[in-house]
Structure 1
Amino acid sequence: MYVILVYDIGEERVGKMLKLCRRYLNWIQNSVFEGEISEVKLKELQFLAKSIMVLSYDSIVIFKSRNEKWLQKEIIGKEKNELDIFL
């Protein structure tokens, strides 16, 4: 599946969450990640994220799609992290 993950987390935990999300998804810009991920890997990411979070304060929003082709992405301004993949 294709996901977009956005988090809003306390400043003292941002570094840990950034490192965790980068292990599973592509960093797009501050607190925003996207990419293909299996259901199992997504559950693993969610489990590990909950161990970093203060659930009464922090939040994660995950948008899911079966495939990236069903999403239209428009970038206005400079793209923070281009996802060019060279084979």
Structure 2
Amino acid sequence: MYVILMYDINEKRVGKMLKLCRRYLHWIQNSVFEGELTDVQLKRLKSEAKGIMEDADSLIIFKSKDERWLDKEVVGDEKNKIDNFL
């Protein structure tokens, strides 16, 4: 499945969450990641994220069966240009 993930984490824990998300997804902008995950990978990511998070922290995950069902438009500077062309 194709996933877009964003988080709002206290700055004391933001480094840990950044490292965790980069293990599973591609960083595209501050606190925003995207990529393909299996159900098992997503469950593992959420479980590990819950271990980092505290009461005021949040994680938002958008899921789609396939990236082609989403239209992505970047207005302004694209922070991390992912080159999927082989």
TM-score class, shorter-chain normalisation, is over 0.9
Find the counterpart in structure 2 of residue 67 from structure 1. Answer: 66
Task: State the 1:85 CA deviation.
Answer: 3.5
Find the counterpart in structure 1 of residue 49 from structure 2. Answer: 49
Task: State the 1:25 CA deviation.
Answer: 0.3
Q: CA RMSD in A?
A: 0.8
- Aligned partner letter, 2:28: I
Calculate the TM-score normalised by the size of structure 1.
0.96
Calculate the TM-score normalised by the size of structure 2.
0.97
Name the % identity. 67
- Structure 1 stretches (4+) deviating beyond 6 angstroms? none
Q: Which 5+ residue runs of structure 1 have no aligned equivalent?
A: none
Q: Which 5+ residue runs of structure 2 have no aligned equivalent?
A: none
Report the Cα distance in structure 1 between the residues aligned to 2:77 and 2:13, rounded to whole angstroms: 27
**Aligned residues, how many?**
86
Report the Cα distance in structure 1 between the residues aligned to 2:84 and 2:45, rounded to whole angstroms: 23
